[in-house]
Amino acid sequence: MLGKALRKGKAYMNPVPTSVGGLSTFFYVLWAYLTNREERTPKRSLGPFRTDPRLYEEPPASGLRVTWMGHSSTLLEIDGIRVLIDPVWEQRAAPFEWAGPKRFFAPPLRLQEIPRIDVVLLSHDHYDHLGAHTIEHLAQSQATTGAQWVTTLGVGNLLKKLGVKDVRELDWTESLRVGQLEVTALPSRHFSGRSLSTRFETLWASFVLAGPRHRVYYGADSGEWEGFKEIGQAYGPFDLTMLEIGAFDPLWADIHMGPDGAVRTFRAMGATGLMMPIHWGLFSLALHAWRQPIERIFAAEGLKIWAPEPGRPTEVGAGIELRSEWWRL
């Protein structure tokens, strides 16, 4: 089932039939947004969260350390390699600076303070995963002078327009080695496009990050599908499995798994190591209350959860849970 991405005309296709919704869905969601009474954004200010950049002067003793910046933006240190994943430092996850979902808290680490990066990884081109101003800054930063930029098919053109000089695009099941780290792109069930007219024209993916001592799965954005079991069998076991839990609604369950889907997916992948919930806690991108995804994950039975506070570089111990409750007001 795991194989290269297929195209129909200009459009990339999902690994299984998938609905992403059309105009009828848009108008329903618009009305639901206007009438919804859930606490979609925090009533009180969150943070401030602050990352001490001096902590990066010493490598993690365990070989695996993660700094979660909120949503899916993550600085991963794995077996001597630093990977910056889906960086978004923008105020809004939108094409405009004056409208769209606004972040709940300021970035814990200033862009000017980011340490030397070995890999910048972009899973797809949606605004909540690829911040244009963030990329423009990073492309000119000393921190990324020697970095390998890695993304999916077609996204490299956008990155080059934003100032990235050298980028490697991966198809599903293709790999790239950076030092001792092997980066492999794998299928996910989602879509792409920074406008309605460019949907599916670039590829989306999940990733395996495999070093000599540790293995991490970054699920990026995906709905549930049977391929997760095969990913776990073929590329696991994983020390840390990063799965999205937020921005979920039954209307778009095909492309966002939500907290219950993340639990099922983690178990389908073998439930080894720790599950790290991502894609939550920073932007209001759905109709549910902003804390609902993490509350449901914490309530699930039989899971080893690793949920750190935003901005805190935290070492991952084998099988040792972390359930930060920074989100409880």
56 compared with 100, residue with greater pLDDT:
56
Which pLDDT value is given to residue 329? Answer: 75
pLDDT of 204 > 90? The answer is yes
| pLDDT class of 22 with cuts at 50, 70, 90 | low
| pLDDT class of 24 with cuts at 50, 70, 90 | low
Which pLDDT value is given to residue 27? Answer: 63
Diameter of the chain by CA atoms?
53
The model's pLDDT over 275-311, given as tens digits with 9 standing for 90+, comes to 999 999 999 999 899 999 999 999 999 999 999 999 9
Spans of all domains in the chain: 45-52+61-317
DSSP 175-226: EEEETTEEEEEE--S----SSGGGTTSS---EEEEE-SS-EEEE--S----T
What span, in angstroms and rounded, lies between the C-alpha atoms of 130 and 299? 31
Which pLDDT value is given to residue 20? Answer: 84
Q: Are 134 and 107 in contact (CB under 8 A)?
A: no
Domain 45-52+61-317, CATH among 3.90.79.10, 3.60.15.10, 3.40.50.720, 2.60.120.1600: 3.60.15.10
The model's pTM is 0.96
The model's pLDDT over 44-79, given as tens digits with 9 standing for 90+, comes to 989 999 999 999 999 999 999 999 999 999 999 999
* Angle CA 75–78–79, to nearest 5: 150
User: Phi and psi dihedrals of 207, rounded to 5?
Assistant: -145, 145
Exposed, middle or buried, 22 (CB in 10 Å: 0-12/13-18/19+)? exposed
pLDDT of 25 > 70? The answer is no
